Amino acid sequence: MKSTQASLLEYEVIRSRRKTADIIIERNGKVIVRAPEWANDEQIAKLVTSRYISICQGLAEWRELNAAHVVREYKNGEAFLYLGRAYRLSLVSEQDDSLVFRNGRFLMRCDLVDHATNASAKSAFRDFYISKGVVRLAARVNYYAPKVGVGPCTIDVKDLGHRWASCSTTGKLSFHWKIMMAPLNVIDYLVVHELCHFHHRDHTREFWNEVDKVMPDYLERQGWLRKNGAALVI
């Protein structure tokens, strides 16, 4: 049975072949306990109870950051993010491609805007970020991999739900296409973060020491993402 404080929180348990347990708050506000396969419900409840205050603080911070959710409109002059900077959107009628970035401005075919779901317009931006991300992230992974001390990696850029990036047990790196809206130094942080998981699967002190070796200011970059991540939307 869960202890009293643990029972006050809703959380999801994900067990895997890991050595230690940690607790994270996903970008949708869900509390996730990542635990070893051998951890039972009572042990997990005790862990949640021991971190009850910090979890509540994290949830309060999440609610504050998401209080003013950004809603972008697909109209002339609206600002969309790319590599940490905001660029204006122009709707055009004469253009073969759905969306292009030219001379510091996004140019989108106006027939993609339906003012209801804007599904086609959103898809055009998503495809743009994916195509740019595949090239840039591959270059950054190749740059940082030797510094972290790992070999060549395969990467994928796709929708990862409420995760920014992940490293599979087979060594494949995946990145959310939304990170292409973040500044370059934040993108680099996510690259280094995932590469360091080749050495340590869990977020242990040893893991963060590996990150610190390559990127001593990682806390600042991590803080930017925590504070501004909710605004990386289309």
What domains sit in the chain, N to C, each tagged with a CATH number?
Answer: 4-65 (no CATH), 79-231 (3.30.2010.10)
Q: Is the pLDDT of residue 87 over 70?
A: yes
pLDDT digits (tens, 9 = 90+) for 112-136: 998 768 899 999 999 999 999 999 9
Task: List, in order, residues 6 or more apart from 77 with CB less than 8 Å away.
Answer: 88, 89
**Is the predicted pLDDT of residue 208 greater than 70, yes or no?**
yes
pLDDT at 63 over 80: no
Q: What is the pLDDT of residue 67?
A: 62
Query: In the prediction, which pLDDT does 196 show?
Result: 95
